[in-house]
Amino acid sequence: CRLVSDVPLGAFLSGGIDSSAIVAMMAKANGRSVKTFTIDFDEKTFSELNDAQCVADHCGTDHHVLKVTTDAMNLLPGLVWHFDEPFADSSAIPTYYVSKMAREHVTVILSGDGGDELFAGYNNYAKKDQYRHLLRFPKSIRHALFNRMAKVLPIHAPMRNFFKYMAWATLDDGPGALGIYPYLKEDLLSHDMKNQLMQFDSMACIRETMQSCTDSDKLARLQYVDTKHYLPGDILVKVDRMSMAHSLETRAPLLDYRLVEFAARLPIPLRMRSGTSKYLLKRVLRKYLPSGILAKRKHGFSIPIGPWLQTSLNGFAREILLDERARKRNLFNTEVVADMLQYHTQGRRDYSDWIWTLLILELWFQTYMDQATRRA
């Protein structure tokens, strides 16, 4: 159905199972070479080029590759404008570039979005019961004990965030929050913002969705929450905004309603078995893809934001987050932000997700709120 088109059509190919499955099916159904598009990085731990090339060779595609460097940071104000809202998923950058490259060759693109939610592919699904024995202790006791332990530790201490989590978590927590975890925000917020926001439970909607799912297995409930929140609130928004920035239409075959309904009925052992995620999907794909692609660990579509913020982007982040405009907003504790930047640069702690989230938020304020003030 998704191959019906009056214009040239291709596929994103990351080298992961989902996009590889789409390419393999396209090659089988098309009977001709599929145009595929991949992003590469200098940082080899983030590059999936070899896996993508392996699939491209196996399926005989017309393959295109684009390397993304720290020059991509020049895009940030434009990306913030395209999203309209504060949107801190850093994989928006490679999505922007792969969409730009694809639009030079095709008008419609197919993606593997939805595979992780449908077939239980995320790494945190395998950890769903990781701390169950500790979480059985009453939350009031855990909160008093672990919160006190966290407060005596400096923000960069290795066990501090674990103690915070244990003080906050419940047996039936949903997936982690998008952005900065609620129980860590108190470290970052200014005194005024704490008074205004700390009574607001940003995870309430996640818990409500989790509890509304009647399945007795926690894995199924985690998948349900991601399908209702993470998928439409992050993944699909990111791909839609970044592709439409280049007038590129995207289609997600794995989210066909018939396939979604089928996947929702699968017994748990066909989703994850003995720690193997996407069990059934991998079994089906044995006759279509190289065994090495099916056996590799999940990589995720991410950029080397940690190394970049330690080196070439450190000055940029410091300039934005410690700027006079950011200080005047009084949203965050400037001393804590400065410590985060310093500790990350020194390699004492990876604060890349926190820094990136705050960076995007400040750029959003500068793009929308400050300009609106000037216009007024």
Instruction: Specify whether the CB–CB gap between 184 and 202 falls below 8 A.
Output: no
Mean pLDDT over 44-71 rounds to 90
How many residues comprise the chain?
Answer: 376
Task: Round to whole Å and give the CA distance between 300 and 89.
Answer: 12
The predicted pLDDT at position 153 comes to 85
pLDDT tens digits for range 285-296: 999 999 999 988
The predicted pLDDT at position 93 comes to 92
The predicted pLDDT at position 188 comes to 87
For residues 35 and 139, the model is more confident at 35
| pLDDT category of residue 177 using cuts at 50, 70 and 90 | very low
> Closest Cα partner for 167 from 198, 193, 184, 145?
145
The predicted pLDDT at position 20 comes to 96
Task: Round to whole Å and give the CA distance between 105 and 100.
Answer: 9
Instruction: Tell me the Ramachandran region of residue 275: left when phi exceeds 0, alpha when psi lies from -120 to 50, beta otherwise.
Output: left
The predicted pLDDT at position 341 comes to 94
The predicted pLDDT at position 157 comes to 83
pLDDT tens digits for range 225-278: 999 999 999 999 999 999 999 999 999 999 999 999 999 999 999 999 988 899
For residues 89 and 206, the model is more confident at 89
**66: which strand partners?**
39
The predicted pLDDT at position 214 comes to 87
| pLDDT category of residue 172 using cuts at 50, 70 and 90 | low
Task: Please say if the pLDDT value at position 35 is more than 70.
Answer: yes
Instruction: Specify whether the CB–CB gap between 183 and 203 falls below 8 A.
Output: no
> Which residue's structure tokens are 């434009």?
78
The predicted pLDDT at position 372 comes to 65
Indicate the average pLDDT of the chain.
88
Label residue 245 exposed, middle or buried (CB < 10 Å: 0-12, 13-18, 19+): buried
pLDDT tens digits for range 130-143: 677 777 778 788 88
Q: In what order do the strands lie in the sheet with 62-68?
A: 62-68, 35-41, 9-12, 108-110, 249-251
